[in-house]
Structure 1
Amino acid sequence: MFVEFFEAIRDFTETGGQVLLVIGLLIFVMWLLILERALFYSVWYKGLKKDAVARWNARQDRASWAAEQIRQAMISRLTIKLNGSIPVIQALVALCPLLGLMGTVTGMIEVFDVMAISGSGNARSMASGVSKATIPTMAGMVGALSGVFASTWLTRMSKREKTHLEDAMALDH
């Protein structure tokens, strides 16, 4: 079963060319970062938030200008941790279609090479180049679409958690 799976992947990458391997690696790294962020929100952040709110509530002074500055600093530190690798994920999402376009260009160069060597537009001889032109484009777009949804969700989670943190650490007036 695993042998058939790896053979199918090998055949797919051979059909798509070398750029497809780079796109696959990029998507793998992107999803590792996405899963790390999701794990951070669901596991580690809860403890950090609980600790920050407890430290805030343990303060005697929660109404002065100095207290507001301390509150803002605490919120900022947690916000930086919340956002973590989201900018990197967004950059990887933007790179996916660009690498797909690079695959299109390299595949079309192969098509033109075949046309120059054979001297005709023989469809069978150009098929390999056409597949190397279309498959990386498709893979880049699929990776970008999946990453856009995930990065949007992560950004929304980060903003929501920051708002909850600000509400939990309210100033006394």
Structure 2
Amino acid sequence: MVWLLDIYGAIQDFIESGGQVLLIIGVLIFAMWLMILERMFYYLRGHQQRKKQALASWREREDKSSWQAEQIRSAMISRVYLALRGNLPVLQALVALCPLLGLMGTVTGMIEVFDVMAISGTGNVRSMAAGVSKATIPTMAGMVGALSGVFAATWLQRASRRERMKLEDRMLLEH
């Protein structure tokens, strides 16, 4: 139980050293990773069921070679693909927002540095260092969040394209 208090204290110190923007970045990264985990869970569980349903529906059709059948096949594939992509565009927007919020933290930290310089001059290095810390920590947090989100979003995007092609191939083979 003591280690939880230590972790909480360390997180609180980190947020204080990075300013309020760091808290916003943390909430954004948390929400982004919840969305990533939801998409991964859907990919591993829900997508397989939806794909089986689409394949079973295609197998039940007698007409598989007419123009109308091709349009139905295309619609089935598109529905499965859209369900698989789910909230990927929102996830990509959150990934793009992370470094922008980091930049906002940089600007607010530098404003604090300039305020200290205006009040006490350039001789108070300790006060200036606190502002520089508030300027660099949010930038780092925004970049780390964006990098982790880019890798996950790219994997999810590639997996959805790959699954779409697999489904198209399986439906064409059962032609």
Q: TM-score interval w.r.t. the shorter chain?
A: over 0.9
Cα RMSD after superposing both structures: 1.1
Unpaired segments ≥5 residues, structure 2: none
* Inter-partner Cα distance in structure 2 for 1:118 and 1:37: 51
Q: List aligned pairs for 1:80-95, cutoff 5 A.
A: 80-95=82-97
Q: List aligned pairs for 1:62-73, cutoff 5 A.
A: 62-73=64-75
* Inter-partner Cα distance in structure 2 for 1:34 and 1:81: 14
Determine helix, strand or coil for the equivalent of 2:172.
coil
Kept after mapping to 2: 8 A contact 1:34/1:150: yes
The alignment's TM-score, normalised by the length of structure 2, stands at 0.96
Q: Percent identity?
A: 68
Counterpart of 2:166 in structure 1 is 164
Amino acid at match of 2:34: L
The alignment's TM-score, normalised by the length of structure 1, stands at 0.97
Residue correspondences, number: 173
Q: Detail structure 1 runs of 4+ shifted over 4 Å in the superposition.
A: none
* Inter-partner Cα distance in structure 2 for 1:154 and 1:11: 34
Task: Measure how far apart 1:120 and its partner are.
Answer: 2.5
Q: 2:114 aligns with which of 112, 115, 123?
A: 112
Counterpart of 2:4 in structure 1 is 2
* Inter-partner Cα distance in structure 1 for 2:174 and 2:92: 38
* Inter-partner Cα distance in structure 2 for 1:57 and 1:106: 60
Determine helix, strand or coil for the equivalent of 1:6.
helix
Q: 1:23 aligns with which of 25, 50, 67?
A: 25
Unpaired segments ≥5 residues, structure 1: none
Counterpart of 2:136 in structure 1 is 134
- Which has the higher mean CA deviation after the structures are superposed, 51-60 or 121-130? 121-130
Per-residue deviation, residues 99-126 of structure 1 (Å, max 9, x unmatched): 0000000000000000111023421111
Kept after mapping to 2: 8 A contact 1:15/1:128: yes
* Inter-partner Cα distance in structure 2 for 1:149 and 1:171: 33
Q: Does 1:58 align with 2:60?
A: yes
Kept after mapping to 2: 8 A contact 1:63/1:171: no
* Inter-partner Cα distance in structure 2 for 1:91 and 1:122: 40
Per-residue deviation, residues 3-42 of structure 1 (Å, max 9, x unmatched): 1011100000000000000000110011000000000000
Task: Measure how far apart 1:172 and its partner are.
Answer: 6.3
